[in-house]
Amino acid sequence: MFADNLFRDKIALVTGGGTGIGYAIAEQLLQLGARVYIASRKEEKLKAALEKLNPQGDCDYLVCNIRELEEVEAAAEAIKAKDGRLDILINNAGGQFPSLAEDISPKGWNAVINNNLNGTWYMTQTMAKAFFIPQKEGVIVNMIVNIYRGFPGMTHTGAARAGIDNFTKSLAVEWSKYNIRINAVAPGIIQSTGLENYPPQLVEGIARTIPMKRLGTCEEVAWLTNFLASPMANYITGETVYIDGGQRLWGSIFEL
C-alpha cells in the first residue's frame, strides 16, 4: 500500500524512537524515504538504534527529555540548524507503571502527568511554533493508549492520555488554518519492549482478554501511525484511532 518514496524529502521526528513502537515507526519512515530524527533521554539506546537504522536510510538522533522545555527547545534548534524544517512529529515517548489508584503517590502521579501530558504538549507546541506554523504545513501523530473505558490500574496515565486525546481535537480545529493535521493512535496491548515494565502475571493470559486472541505488533502500530502521517490521510484530523484487536469493546484488561 505504501509507495517506496511516500515520505521522500520529508523530515520526521519520532520521540521515544530508540526502542519498541517508536523504533518501528522510525524504521518504516526511513524505508519510505524520510529523513528521521529519533529522540530519547538515553544516548546509549539512541546510538544502538542508529546503528541498525542508518543502513536503512538517513537517520540522526537527539538526546532530549521531553519533560524539560529547555531540552525540547534545544532539539528544535538542532533540527533548524541541520535541516531548516520539520514536516512530521510523532509524539511517541511516554511511560507509566501499574498501580492501584489509592497507592499512587503525589510524586508518582506528577511524574506520569509530566512525562506523558506535559512532555507531549511541550513537544507539540514547540515544534509547531518553530516549524509547522511558520511553514504553514505540518503533521502530528500522538501515541496514547486504550483509554476507551478509562484506564483502571493505571489511572495516572489514563488521565494524561485523555488530556492528549482532548488537545488533539482542540488543535485540529485551531491549527487547520495553518494546514497542520493532528491525530492520535491508541494502541491496546502490543508485543513490545514497553511490556517488560509490567509484572509477568499481568501480561500472562492477556491475549485471552482480546477478541482477536493475540497481542498487536509494533509493526502494525507503525503502519497506522505512518498512514496518519502520510498524504493518504490528508482529510483526517482530530481523530483518535484505536488499534487493539477489539479489546476496548470487550472483557477486562487485567485483574485488579
Q: Which stretch binds ligand ADE (CB under 6 A): 62-70, 103-111, 190-198, 235-243?
A: 62-70
- Which of residues 15, 91, 96, 183 is near ligand ADE by CB under 6 A? 15
Q: Which stretch binds ligand ADE (CB under 6 A): 27-35, 51-59, 63-71, 172-180?
A: 63-71
Residue 73 and residue 126 in contact, taking contact as beta carbons nearer than 8 Å:
yes
Among residues 128, 250, 232, the alpha carbon closest in space to that of 182 is found at: 128
- Which of residues 25, 61, 65, 90 is near ligand ADE by CB under 6 A? 65
Closest CB 15 distance from ligand ADE, rounded Å:
6
Among residues 64, 60, 20, the alpha carbon closest in space to that of 37 is found at: 60
Closest CB 63 distance from ligand ADE, rounded Å:
9
20 binds ligand ADE (CB under 6 A): no
**Cα dihedral across residues 208, 210, 213, 214: positive or negative:** negative
Give the residue with the Cβ less far from ligand ADE, 49 or 64. Answer: 64
138 binds ligand ADE (CB under 6 A): no
Give the residue with the Cβ less far from ligand ADE, 95 or 134. Answer: 95
Give the residue with the Cβ less far from ligand ADE, 116 or 247. Answer: 116
- Tell me the residue number closest to ligand ADE, measured at CB: 93
Among residues 6, 52, 37, the alpha carbon closest in space to that of 226 is found at: 6
Residue 79 and residue 86 in contact, taking contact as beta carbons nearer than 8 Å:
yes
Q: Which three cell numbers stand for residue 15?
A: 520521540
**Straight-line distance from the first to the last Cα atom of the chain, in angstroms, rounded to the nearest whole number:** 41
- Reduced to 3 states (helix: H, G, I; strand: E, B; else coil), residue 136 is coil
Give the residue with the Cβ less far from ligand ADE, 119 or 187. Answer: 119
Q: Where are the alpha helices (DSSP H) in the chain?
A: 20-31, 43-53, 69-82, 106-112, 119-127, 133-135, 155-174, 200-203, 218-229
DSSP 59-78: EEEEE--TT-HHHHHHHHHH
Binding mask 91-120 for ligand ADE (x = CB under 6 A): --xxx-------------------x---x-
240 binds ligand ADE (CB under 6 A): no
Give the residue with the Cβ less far from ligand ADE, 115 or 192. Answer: 115
Residues found near ligand ADE in the complex (CB under 6 A): 15-16, 40-41, 64-67, 93-95, 115, 119
